[in-house]
Amino acid sequence: MNELIYNLAVWLDDTEWSRMLHESYYMYNWVESTHVLTLMVSLGMLFLIDLRMLGLALPDVPASRIAERLNVPMLIGFAVMFITGILLFYAVPVRTSQSLWFRIKMVLLVACAVNAFLFHKRMNESVVTWDIEPRAPSRIRLGAMLSLTFWSIVVVCGRFIAYDWFDCDTSPNTLIDIVSGCVDGQTRF
């Protein structure tokens, strides 16, 4: 599996657009800046929704209204982050695909999506009974707490991708090599 991912990453790395993006004077910086600054839109809205479920934000506003009204800007923010994230990966595909932090981030993003789906499902089924309560029921609050935790770790992992502590050519042990997807110490920057 690691070899497959490595070969795909090398193929992407060999494309002209990947090289141009990676070596660009400003484009990579702008894409990264957009990715980071859009946090304020996507995670900002998400945090407000989660904090409402925990009763820590806008407690006198119906929870469903907060969730519905802030959903659209949140999803727009996530769309921008998704696109810029793909571009950032495309610019440096080999090193990124072999980054332990990137892999943890991807797993957590899937976990966040599953949690969001279950959260919305539970909320829609039960919201009529607790909409105007300052705090949501315990299961919804658990979903909100998980959301806050997962997303916080996503941000930390995203920040750590830039550091080379566990890069394939400096990796301290075999287990980290395997989890990171190192293939016989081969890597590219």
Residues forming contacts to other proteins in the complex (CB under 8 A) are 25-26, 29, 32-33, 36-37, 39-41, 43-48, 51, 56-61, 65-66, 69-70, 73, 152, 155-156, 158-160, 162-163, 165
The widest CA-to-CA distance across the chain, in whole angstroms, is 58
CB of 135 to other proteins, least distance (A): 15
> For residues 10 and 39, which CB has a smaller minimum distance to other proteins in the complex?
39
CB of 18 to other proteins, least distance (A): 18
> For residues 33 and 186, which CB has a smaller minimum distance to other proteins in the complex?
33
CB of 26 to other proteins, least distance (A): 6
> For residues 10 and 48, which CB has a smaller minimum distance to other proteins in the complex?
48
Q: Label each residue of the chain as H, E or C.
A: CHHHHHHHHHHHHCCHHHHHHHHCCCHHHHHHHHHHHCHHHHHHHHHHHHHHHCCCCCCCCCHHHHHHHHHHHHHHHHHHHHHHHHHHHHHCHHHHHCCHHHHHHHHHHHHHHHHHHHHHHHHHHHHHHHCCCCCCCHHHHHHHHHHHHHHHHHHHHHHHCCCCCCCCCCCCCHHHHHHHCCECCECCC
- Residue 17 CB partners (closer than 8 Å, separation 6+): 90
In the numeric block, which tokens belong to residue 149? 């935790």
CB of 51 to other proteins, least distance (A): 7
CB of 61 to other proteins, least distance (A): 5
> For residues 9 and 144, which CB has a smaller minimum distance to other proteins in the complex?
144
> For residues 10 and 56, which CB has a smaller minimum distance to other proteins in the complex?
56
Q: What's the rounded Cα separation, in Å, for the pair 76 and 36?
A: 14
CB of 59 to other proteins, least distance (A): 8
> For residues 66 and 108, which CB has a smaller minimum distance to other proteins in the complex?
66
